[in-house]
Amino acid sequence: MPTIRVDPEVYAYLESKALPYVEVEANQTLRRLFGLPETAGTKRRAARPAAGPPPRRKQPKASLLGLQRAGLLQDGQTLYLHDYRGELVPGVEATVAGQRVVRNGNTHSMSQLAAQLLQEHGYGSESVRGPALWFTSDGTSIKELWAKYRANGRSGNHASAAGSSAVGSS
């Protein structure tokens, strides 16, 4: 069988499209993606092994840029930090700047800044999921906006469904 070389990005994409426990060779995935029939040498395995559920695929991280493109956030919009109980942490704000947030002139990831600020306010956890803790002025978390974005097929035509309250200027 001929051999082809692909760069790591193409290989990672191909891996992401493979059916776990079914397509054990790249050729099987390519045949399915190209709509080619299976041959005797490319028959798939049974759908999944009997032991245990299939592995969970990691969900994509919340993208501030994606939310901006969809009209759910604006660059320069103020976000407000809430604690683990959902309470506003007084005086703790950051500004959306592309894919990151800015506070006091320094650029951070949402999770990194949330962890740092929560520790400064007496919270002990080092494992912080930033999108669940940063909120818009109307009380919508980045996590909720991301779920809405994903539920709407990741397209930008649902900005009106979000309402103008999700885009604050403060």
pLDDT for res 161: 36
Same domain, 80 and 140: yes
33 & 95 share domain = no
Residue 57 in domain: no
For all residues of the chain together, what is the average pLDDT? 80
Task: Name residue 145's amino acid.
Answer: L
pLDDT of residue 170: 36
Note the pLDDT tens digit of each residue in 138-167. 999 999 999 999 888 764 433 333 333 333
Domain count, the chain: 2
pLDDT at 166: 38
User: 119 near 43, Cβ under 8 Å?
Assistant: no
C-beta separation of 59 from 38 below 8 A = no
Question: CB of 79 within 8 A of CB of 95?
Answer: yes
Residue 33 belongs to a domain:
yes
Task: List the domain range (segments joined by +) for residue 18.
Answer: 8-42
Place of tokens 């909720």: 144
User: Is 59 contained in some domain?
Assistant: no
The string of pLDDT tens digits covering residues 103-144 is: 999 999 999 999 999 999 888 777 788 999 999 999 999 999
Token pair 């800015």 is at which residue? 102
* Co-location of 33 and 109 in the same domain: no
| Token pair in block for residue 145 | 């906006």
User: What is each CA distance from 150 to 9, 32, 56, 125, in whole angstroms?
Assistant: 23, 25, 17, 28
Question: Would the pTM count as exceeding 0.85?
Answer: no
Residues 68 and 127 both lie in one domain: yes
Rounded mean pLDDT, 60-78: 92
